[in-house]
Amino acid sequence: MTADAIAVAKPKTDGRIAAIRGGVVDVAFDGPVPQIHDLLFAGTVALEVAALVGEGLVRAIAMAPVRGLGLGMAVRATGSPIMVPVGEAVLGRMLDVFGAPMDGRPSPQAVERRSIHQAPPQLSDRVLHAQILETGIKAIDLLSPIERGGKTGLFGGAGVGKTVLITELINNTVQHYKGVSLFCGIGERSREAEELYREIGDAGVRDKTVMLFGQMNEAPGVRFLVGNTALTMAEYFRDDLGQDVLLLIDNIFRFVQAGSEVSGLMGRMPSRVGYQPTLATELAALEERITSTSQAAITSIQAVYVPADDFTDPAAAHIFSHLSASVVLSRKRASEGLYPSVDPLASASVMLTPAVVGQRHYDIARAVRRTLSEYEELRDIIAMLGLEELSSADRATVARARRLERFLTQPFFTTESFSGMSGKLVPIADTLAGCEAILGQTRFDLPESAYYMIGALDDLKEAAP
């Protein structure tokens, strides 16, 4: 990204570097002082104004390593914030926080560039659709249905399958999704970016997808702002082109983490558990831009890393408050080989009401939760005394629960090369019919293993030994 590529809204002024502390640079100006969020350039290093410190002095966050910068070095003010290309020219591209290409192709030739800092829609402009986005993943569609125009969080610690689930959601929804999809990688590995770019190309949906990355090796300022870049592009598709947008973010916790790093560099006093004091407002500024309007909807699915599996962590707690559905991934279920490792008792959705999903779906979901909850209560008795000590009714409950647990597993398209099993996309109707059939039985002819890693219940005949 070069200074010449930035749209200039005001007369340029020059300053000088007054101090450098890590990724924070203080710049002194003799003339007019830049505004908050304005973009500066010290040589080829981009800086964003984060605070006005004093008379003629601003404090800026570096968007790249500060090697080569020195005291007294000239700084150029562009007179505008970071401006990124928007529109159909960015479809099929892999871009960075400035909208510059990362895929080795020429820069997108967009007719318009917009600031990455935009206000959320007014409350009067927002619309509630109360519609479900079908994913084809049994555990999610049954127990935690995703709201069109809402925000869904995939919660879990390290290694429980958040990124795999996000990738599968892309595969299942993008192919029959009528709008466009936008993937935003915040603080993730470059390996994952390369793999995802290749997989989306193999699936033939890259031309309807925009990919933005602020990778974990980049400066905290880049990781902190790449979410705003993604939302600016998504808002253009929603508001100007009237297209629905599926926004996938991996990982929203890295946004909070980058904000904490930026806050520390700025010298702010840490708040609870060492997080930045502005955690709630920074998160709200990003999340409130994700909504439905009369033109179209932005539906967001966000992976959320939970530090040390502690759901009372301030970052996880604040993210929870913005979500319409939460899918909790369980390390215990992952250790048992139950993938996707969705915790059926901890996951929830505001869409799971009779008025939205229908009375039958609601009743089946409640019955599944009740059966699995009763099984959890019986686990200790089984561990101490054995299954034989249970009453016949409790044994039937255990049999149903163990088969439901295995029926809610599913082979993924994106893991076929690892598992050797063909992926399955299961309609909601087949999921409901399968769970209803299992709940209605007290005796089973087939073993539990026959229900493991199948699609609809009709696949049982194939799985039977």
Catalytic residues, which ones?
A: 162, 188-189
DSSP string for 312-376: TSHHHHHHHTT-SEEEEBPHHHHHTT-SS-B-TTT-EETT-SHHHH-HHHHHHHHHHHHHHHHHH
Rounded Cα–Cα distance for residues 371 and 359 (Å): 18
Q: Which has the closest alpha carbon to 262: 42, 47, 11, 5?
A: 47
d(CA 12, CA 78): 6
CB count in 10 Å sphere of residue 136: 23
Residue type (1 letter), 269: M
By DSSP bridging, strand 57-62 and strand 24-29 are antiparallel
Q: Give the number of other Cβ atoms within 10 Å of residue 157's Cβ.
A: 17
For 228-283, the DSSP string reads HHHHHHHHHHHHTS---EEEEEE-HHHHHHHHHHHHHHTTPPP-GGG--TTHHHHH
Residue 457 CB partners (closer than 8 Å, separation 6+): 407, 430, 433, 434, 437, 438
Q: Rounded CA gap, 398 and 424, in Å?
A: 26
